Amino acid sequence: MRCDEFISRYDLENAVCLDERLVLVKAENTTEVSEKLLSLSPRYSTCVGIDYRPINRSYLVHHVLALDKYGLYLVLEARAHDPDPVVESITNLFPAANWHEREVMDMLGIKFIGHPEPYRLILPDDWPEKVYPLRKDYPYDRKPVELAEILERPTPRNYTVSIRRGSSVSEAEIPLGPYHPALHEPEYYELVIEGERIVEARYRGFFVHRGMEKLAESRLTVNQVAFLAERICGICGYTHATAYCQAVEEAADIEVPARAEYIRGILLEIERLHSHLLWFGVAFHLLGFDTGFMATWRLREKIMDLAELLTGNRKTYGLNLVGGVRRDIDESKAHAVLEALDFIEEKFKKLVRLVMGMHEIIARTKNIGILTREDAKKLGAVGPHARASGLDIDVRRDCPYAAYKYVDVSVPVMDGCDVLSRILVRFEEIIESVRLIRVFLREMPKGGLMAEYDDIPGLRIGIGVTEAPRGEDIHYVVTGRENKIYRWRPRAPSYMNLATVPHMLVGEKLANAPIIIASIDPCFSCTDHVVVIDRSSRKKIPLEKALRET
């Protein structure tokens, strides 16, 4: 549905079309408007706080809601003003907004009235009060002040998510994380166990903050940000670069040549193949099935070679600029891709059939790590994780971009809600990716690779959405003047999926925790050390002491 039709049909007040698929609703009363919108069953996507004071002396808060059924994105705008910027929280209506609103509170100092857990999320505990790094008057290269003094204060332990069911007398606490010597993206889980069963799961994240948004907004030019965006993720970077470029292209009305869109599509699917194969390997490894891990990664290596052939690099493709791509795919390269795909498809199908015939794999995954459809919807789960819980969403089909505009995508949905379903969904997706690459290569039209455009106009809003291997990846851009970006807010899919993990862990056996955490395909990291708790005093004892005394 086009967005002007949508506005007239649902009689939205103060709504304007920003683009074919982007509606902006300016709300005096956010809660009231959100309540009205609930009837459309939107999916909460992200929240962007913008320091707009240099332009019109106010702060903007943009809640982005996805209307998958209509293929539209809706931006709900609220305003706040100095000296005490305040807006209404909508977390009670959209539980998935919880982290997003807290992030805006941390980074811009805009208060969300009525937020159920208004604690710090992104900034470290020792960060000084009332210092907001994403405000425009905070220089990008300033270091936080007076850290030493603040370090002496007691640190609050505000968990990002904490879920508990049942009560018990004989508990032990097992920390997973926060740092892994080999893998990036530290995550910290604290699991309270009674015997073998997890009775309480707490998650704390956001240990790494790279300051990418600030860097992009202050130091880099429009095309340079595409390369920074690619470095958000160590596995699915190209999808971020594509989402960013699409956001700028939408904001500046740049028409990308069809051939460039097809090339983007091919590379996005190649990235999905390598990412899913990587995940299969990691999952097998965590199930103690290292032969399977090696066998999958051997296949994945072929995909990495393909990426190197097409782009000049195994992983960071670096092919996107605003307006198109930088390299063509010629006949000989296309032929090499098709040949490799035949080999990979045959081998992979055989491999998975054999693995699924193994009793132990099924026993370790079936009915393990349940995330109900209701929870998945409530918490805003995306990607294969959501599709394994029966949610039929996929950006490639619902809000098509790049080459998916021209080709139908089949979306596998399962309702097992367990780890096994997540394996099967990803298996189907690999088969579909292989098919899509073949179709793209066959139907790719001739033509240019790069759109011609003048200076990018300032203060325009654009949203770039892609279906990353892990789910919906959304980039929100406000263009700036003089070849700069005024505000850039990328939201990766794991942001949504991580909040669901504690819900899946409670009630499970401890031995299943690694595969449950990995089943959402985060960049998994864990260390397996133990904290021993003295039951009577509830205090932690150093491990060496505990070992000596027993």
Partner 1 sequence: MVASRLAFIKEVVGKPVTEQYPYKAVAVPEGFRGKPVIDPAKCLGCGACANACPPGALSIHDEDGYRVLRLFLGRCIFCGRCQEVCPVGALRLTREFELASTSRDDLVQEVRLVLEKCSMCGKPVATRREIVFVEQMLPADQRWLVHLCPECRALVSAKIIGYVRGCNR
Contacts with partner 1, residue ranges (CB under 8 A): 220, 223-224, 227-228, 231, 291-292, 294-295, 298, 301, 308-309, 311-313, 316, 318, 326-327, 350-351, 354-355, 357-359
Is 417 in a helix, a strand, or coil?
A: coil
Phi, psi of 543 (to 5 degrees): -60, -40
CB of 287 to partner 1, least distance (A): 13
C-alpha pair distances (Å), 171 with each of 91, 103, 168, 505, 535: 32, 33, 7, 16, 8
CB of 263 to partner 1, least distance (A): 14
Greatest alpha-carbon pair distance for the chain in Å reads 75
Instruction: Give the other-Cβ count within 10 Å of 380's Cβ.
Output: 27
Rounded Cα distance, 287 and 511, in Å: 9
Q: What tokens appear for 59 in the block?
A: 């702060």
Among residues 361 and 399, whose Cβ is nearest to partner 1?
361
Amino acid at 313: N
Q: Are 222 and 485 in contact (CB under 8 A)?
A: yes
Among residues 228 and 287, whose Cβ is nearest to partner 1?
228
Among residues 299 and 381, whose Cβ is nearest to partner 1?
299
CB of 526 to partner 1, least distance (A): 27
Apex 395 CA angle, 367 and 372, nearest 5: 20
CB of 308 to partner 1, least distance (A): 6
Among residues 203 and 289, whose Cβ is nearest to partner 1?
289
Amino acid at 363: A
Among residues 298 and 335, whose Cβ is nearest to partner 1?
298
Among residues 92 and 316, whose Cβ is nearest to partner 1?
316
Among residues 337 and 379, whose Cβ is nearest to partner 1?
337
Among residues 43 and 285, whose Cβ is nearest to partner 1?
285
CB of 227 to partner 1, least distance (A): 4
Among residues 23 and 319, whose Cβ is nearest to partner 1?
319
Cα torsion 537, 540, 542, 548 to 10°: value is 40
Q: Are 306 and 383 in contact (CB under 8 A)?
A: no
Among residues 3 and 329, whose Cβ is nearest to partner 1?
329
Apex 75 CA angle, 69 and 77, nearest 5: 150
Taking Cα atoms as reference points, which of 523, 517, 476 lies closest to residue 61? 476
Strand partners, 15: 25
Taking Cα atoms as reference points, which of 513, 528, 523 lies closest to residue 184? 523
Among residues 334 and 541, whose Cβ is nearest to partner 1?
334
CB of 319 to partner 1, least distance (A): 9
CB of 379 to partner 1, least distance (A): 35
CB of 336 to partner 1, least distance (A): 9
Residues with Cβ within 8 Å of residue 354, at least 6 apart in sequence? none
CB of 502 to partner 1, least distance (A): 34
CB of 426 to partner 1, least distance (A): 19
Among residues 354 and 547, whose Cβ is nearest to partner 1?
354
Strand partners, 474: 465, 491
CB of 267 to partner 1, least distance (A): 14
CB of 199 to partner 1, least distance (A): 33
Among residues 44 and 244, whose Cβ is nearest to partner 1?
244
Among residues 186 and 292, whose Cβ is nearest to partner 1?
292
Q: Is the dihedral angle over the CA atoms 225, 230, 233, 237 positive or is it negative? A: positive
Letter string b/e over residues 232-257, b meaning 16 or more CB atoms within 10 A of that residue's CB: bbebbbbbbbbbbbbbbbbbbebebb
End-to-end CA distance of the chain, in Å? 68
Taking Cα atoms as reference points, which of 76, 158, 147, 155 lies closest to residue 117? 158
Taking Cα atoms as reference points, which of 418, 273, 411, 277 lies closest to residue 351? 277
DSSP 511: G
CB of 43 to partner 1, least distance (A): 33
CB of 182 to partner 1, least distance (A): 19
- Backbone φ/ψ region at 451: left (φ over 0), alpha (ψ -120 to 50), beta: beta
Taking Cα atoms as reference points, which of 157, 160, 193, 188 lies closest to residue 174? 193
